[in-house]
Amino acid sequence: MNLIVNTPRYIGKSAETPDMAFGGNDLSCQSCHLKAGLQPFAAPFVSTVATFPMMVDNQVLPLSERINGCIELGLNGRPLPDDSREIQALVAYMVFVGKGTPKGVRVPGMGLMPIAFPTAVPDARRGEAVYAQHCASCHKADGQGETLAGPAVGYAVPPLWGEGSYNGGAGMGKIAYAASYIRSNMPLGVDYREPTLTVQEAWDVAAYMNSKPHPVAPPLPPEPEPAADGEEAAEAP
């Protein structure tokens, strides 16, 4: 739980132990997975373990690799070793909060709340007005959020763009993902059953947020060459 809530202190860009600075920014896991991964429709961890390992693009994806995907994209960092104490602790926490979840079952509230298609093409200019009205009071006009007070490392309110934010490959870098997350969870404290923003406003503000600069996503690994008859496929480097 400490790693989820105080991520930058342990593995962020400003980690107390420089060798553990695997994150490329000082966001925490909780910046997106609200309430330490327990808030419904904020990508909670409650039945995460029950659905891993999973098949993705015809490959088995273990939970440790999925966690490292968040570190590489959301934290704009580099992967933790699979056998590291930190990976083991994160998996242990997800096992704990998912206790009792049947194998292969995603309990209600997992993932993101489905969102309808917008009635108009998402527009960053309209989104700017939505941001000014509903978001800037916390995330600030420049989108850089608010750092924690005193010697603490990280953010009370996370930045939404710029070098301290997620990179372009993160889930929040996809407008549909961001729109769904925003409508169910923002402004902070909203009840997903009574959202503040309309569907169109959520899409528009997501378009505005993602029209701003973000760090570049790491390149995808090359796909293996198709094997000729009678030959084994070459492994990607």
Q: Which amino acid is at 69?
A: G
Tell me the sheet residues that pair with 61: 54
Least confident interval from 90-94, 149-153, 190-194 = 149-153
Tell me the sheet residues that pair with 42: 112
Using CA atoms, how far apart are residues 220 and 222, in angstroms rounded to an integer? 6
E strand residue ranges, 1-87:
54-56, 59-61
Domain 2-97, classified CATH 3.90.1150.10, yes or no: no
Using CA atoms, how far apart are residues 110 and 113, in angstroms rounded to an integer? 8
- Give the predicted TM-score (pTM) of the model: 0.89
The set of residues, in sequence order, having a beta carbon less than 8 Å from that of 134 and lying 6+ positions away, is 186, 187, 196, 197, 201, 205
Positions of CATH 1.10.760.10 in the chain: 2-97, 124-211
Backbone φ, ψ for residue 226 (5° rounding): -65, 140
- In words, the CATH class of domain 124-211 is mainly alpha
pLDDT band at 150 (very low <50, low <70, confident <90, very high): confident
Instruction: State the average pLDDT over residues 184-206.
Output: 97
Q: How many CA atoms lie within 13 Å of 122's alpha carbon, on the beta-carbon side?
A: 24
pLDDT for 54: 82
Residue 156 parent element (H or E): strand 155-157
Please say if the pLDDT value at position 237 is more than 50.
no
Least confident interval from 61-65, 113-117, 134-138, 161-165 = 61-65
pLDDT for 186: 98
pLDDT digits (tens, 9 = 90+) for 64-123: 999 999 999 999 999 999 999 999 999 999 999 999 988 888 899 999 999 999 999 999
Give the residue among 126, 129, 145 at the shortest CA–CA distance from 137: 145
pLDDT for 61: 87
CB 169 within 8 A of CB 82: no
